[in-house]
Chain A
Amino acid sequence: MLTVTGLGAGYDKLRVLHDVDLNVPDGHLVAVIGANGAGKTTLLRALSGLIRPTEGRIVLDGRDVTGLPAERIAAAGLAHVPENRLVFPSLTVADNLALGAWTRRRAHSRTAERRERVLDLFPRLAARLDQPAGTLSGGEQQMLAIGRGLMAEPKVLVLDEPSLGLAPRLVGEIFGALARLKSERGLAIVLVEQNARAAFRVADEVVVMDRGQVAATGTPQVLARDDRVQSAYLGGGYAAT
């Protein structure tokens, strides 16, 4: 569904990504982990067209979308749920969802159906449709941000740290929903996450990034046995030495 080869990108004079390859088939979830500054967020921004890649190719659903502006890539079927959620706080939940369907506004008849599917996935939102999004709790805002992305009926969903600042129980709910999206609806999902343990539980494949490059890739089962991955991302080790 999403194939990335040799991707390079950056900001102004700063090269951040170097030669990144990524392959995300239908119904697969690829988790991207790595330290701060490793280029994870930049990778997502390049995928969704918020910054222009300087090298490489991005093929989405058989179509080359390299270098297209963000709104065209969104229309081609990629939804980006950014870091820190960024819902429209003064708009109601219902309006936030309606805006998510903007690129599909010609298929108006199906908007209601899509909304039902979002509310089925996140029942908490159903009770709050008329509430301003700013009054939702952090977890509910994250659900709304994902729901808004789904309203565009994407084929690929990319998420930046959906677990940020959420209580363990809500992390469970969000990741449960992601698992449903890939298995029931066959979505291809790219997930950037610092909560590596939670990410390993839902991922089909894990990509470890370091200084703008792919340092390791493999199934969660294999990578979890790697000592370096274990100590850098999975291990607890908070106990006093």
Chain B
Amino acid sequence: MADTTNPPTRPARGGTAGRRFAEPAGFAVFALLLVVFPLLAPETVVNVGVYALIYGIAAIGLTLLMGLAGQVSLGQAAFFAVGAYGQALLVTRYQVPMVVAALVAVGLAMLVALLVGVPLLRLRGHYLALATLGLGIIVTVVATESDYLGATSGLYGIGKPEFGGRRYDSPAEYFWLLSPVVFLALLVARNIVAGRVGRALGAVNDSEVAAECLGVNTYRLRLQVFVVSAGYAGLAGVAFVHWIGVVNPNAANFPLSVEFLLMSVLGGLGSVWGAIVGAFAVELLDEGLRSLIPTLLPGAVGEVQLIGFGVVLTAVILFVPGGIHGMWRSMLARLRRPAPGIGRRVVSDEDDSPLLARPGRPAPGTPLLEVRDLVRRFGGVTAVGGVSFEVRAGEIFALIGPNGAGKTTCFNMISGVLAPSEGSVWLRGERIDGRKPHVFARARATRTFQNLQIFRSTTVRGNVAVGRHLRSRAGLLRGALVLPARREERQIHQSVEETLALVGLAGDADRPAADLPFGRQRLLEIARALALEPDLLLLDEPMAGLSGGERRELARLLRRLRAGGMAVVLVEHDVEAVLALADRVAVLDDGRLIALGTPEEIRHDPAVLAAYLGVDDDEALTDEALTDEVTRAAARELANGDGA
């Protein structure tokens, strides 16, 4: 609709128009800075700059891991050391050409990460942080004790790189040699964040269960990012060893891991740019503090700059938790002043044509989902006690019943969020109970949540784009080399627009999802689920929080989806809507199925009236007169199926 008022903008993942121009400009300015820095800065500062570039590469990897995969590594230096030692061994002992050696060394760091990550990333919580901390110690000890690796004195004699007769031995020369490497490293990291994998991992950080239900294989993506992150550290190790010519066990030391951490956090985890900015800030600070602290504290010797780092890290976390990048972003946000107003709802037309039909979908009426004798116990409480039903393609199937009857627990078992205690769930003839939600999603089935699971850190558009995860293919590699993924991203953009229009959210596409009113967040969850183009859609209380008009729009949408051949399972308390919409209704009470039939049959079932509407049960009624009137009216509605 034309008069949808300006959607307020807050920079959020998912890309807005402004960013499309800001980013290439950013990269151009960065390239220019890299070229002129060695020309303008004195040689000692250029020397600091070389270290900033080297460590910055490792910090980019850490920013990916922490900012994107939400995992903390306290052993980034271990992979740095593996890369450095690998390179040193290959070039000094086996005379492998430098570039080939670098590829092997980086691969080695990634292999170590894979071995560590495979068991650990299955676990949630801080296991990875602890394990990487241990890994750093192990690498240090192995390097110290192994004569092959030169024990405490390490390996030395690694030459400065030479290409085409040119020796890169001055700080300025080495800075220029590293510049294209860092530039590409940053570009690849940026592409990972902005692409399909980054979007999915961002969603995982907001709500793991929702991302899984949209088909995101959380474990696999986290593992991939962890391995890539180790590759960055390994590459930094390679660059390091060719610059200073030696590597010793200190390379795997904890203080270096902390320094990488500081670079990432100080720069800001919200953007890969933060890593580079943080690296320069930390390295310059390091130089400054080394000379400053001994004058402040006479007699201070050794790694005194670490005291200063501790103070800076604490201050950053207390006062600028978003880091330098976060400060920059809130400054930009303050500069842009969007016009006031609320995005107007786009009124959908009176169209009743089928929606989202697709070839290859099971014919209407064929069994799609089968639930057999499902039981779920929590401790001594039986939430669901032996429920069986079948859902056919192209029908709307409703599950109603009092609060606590086990409806949502059934949904959780069907969608793989919970494993049943007994019984089985079959989708298209394949048994799926106890498997992960992304398996359910891959079989073209998804769900929404009673307690909303919106991806709060992105826009409305970004939420729906995650729903396209399984309908797009760009993996980490293709996403990193952005060109082949470009076309796919455009297609995603297009289909997201169409899906948003279905639920009347087109005017809100660029709003932060968290700013939507409650009821529209519900519609957003439905749009997100529809983006997957499911054959089976489970909706948990989709009408809750919607006004009367909005409920009617939703009812129309569900009918159109059914006409397109989709099967919809509905948990809903709006009895009138359920009876008008559903082809069949199942009634749960206290974990058991007490009725299953057409709306007509359910409407007159005395057991349903007693359990659900409380007509024959007034033990808990408080205000006789009023409650009686309310229940009588509700019973009338139930009996007539039309309103007051």
Using a CB–CB cutoff of 8 Å, the interface residues on chain A facing chain B are: 10-11, 13-16, 33-37, 41, 83-84, 121-124, 137-139, 161, 164-173, 175-177, 179-180, 194, 196-198, 201-202, 211-212, 231-241
Contacts and interface: CB of A to CB of B under 8 A. Distances in A.
Contact of B630 (A16, A34, A201, A233): A201
Contact of B581 (A34, A167, A212, A238): A238
Contact of B634 (A83, A172, A180, A196): A172
B258 interface: no
A169 B626 contact: no
B290 interface: no
Interface string B604-633: 000000001110000011110011011101
B518 A169 contact: no
Given A10-B340, A172-B627, A175-B630, A238 B519 contact: no
A172 B550 CA distance: 23
Contact of B520 (A37, A177, A234, A238): A37
Contact of A235 (B343, B345, B548): B548
12 contacts: A13-B337, A15-B340, A36-B520, A84-B451, A121-B622, A122-B622, A164-B544, A166-B403, A168-B613, A170-B403, A179-B626, A232-B548
Contact of B580 (A36, A171, A176, A236): A236
Interface of B is mostly: loop
Contacts of B630: 171-172, 175-176, 198, 201
A78 B519 CA distance: 26
A175 B517 contact: no
Interface stretch (B16-24, B115-123, B569-577): B569-577
A237 B341 CA distance: 31
B352 A241 contact: yes
Contacts, number: 163
A182 B551 CA distance: 30
Given A36-B517, A169-B612, A233 B548 contact: yes
Nearest to A120: B622
Size category, B interface: 35 or more
Nearest to A195: B574
Contacts of B637: 236
Nearest to B559: A240
Contacts of B450: 165
B402 interface: yes
A139 B403 contact: yes
A35 to B, nearest CB: 5
Interface of B: 8, 337-338, 340-345, 350, 352, 401-404, 450-451, 515-520, 541, 544-552, 555, 559, 573, 575-577, 580-581, 612-614, 620-623, 626-627, 629-631, 633-634, 637, 642-644
Q: Which 5 A-B pairs have the closest CB atoms?
A: A36-B519, A238-B580, A169-B614, A176-B623, A176-B627
Contacts of A177: 622-623
A168 B634 contact: yes
A204 to B, nearest CB: 13
A167 B519 contact: no
Nearest to A211: B342
Nearest to B644: A197
A212 B573 CA distance: 28
Contacts of B573: 165-168
Given A121-B622, A169-B613, A194 B546 contact: yes
Contacts of B555: 238
A188 B423 CA distance: 51
A138 B403 contact: yes
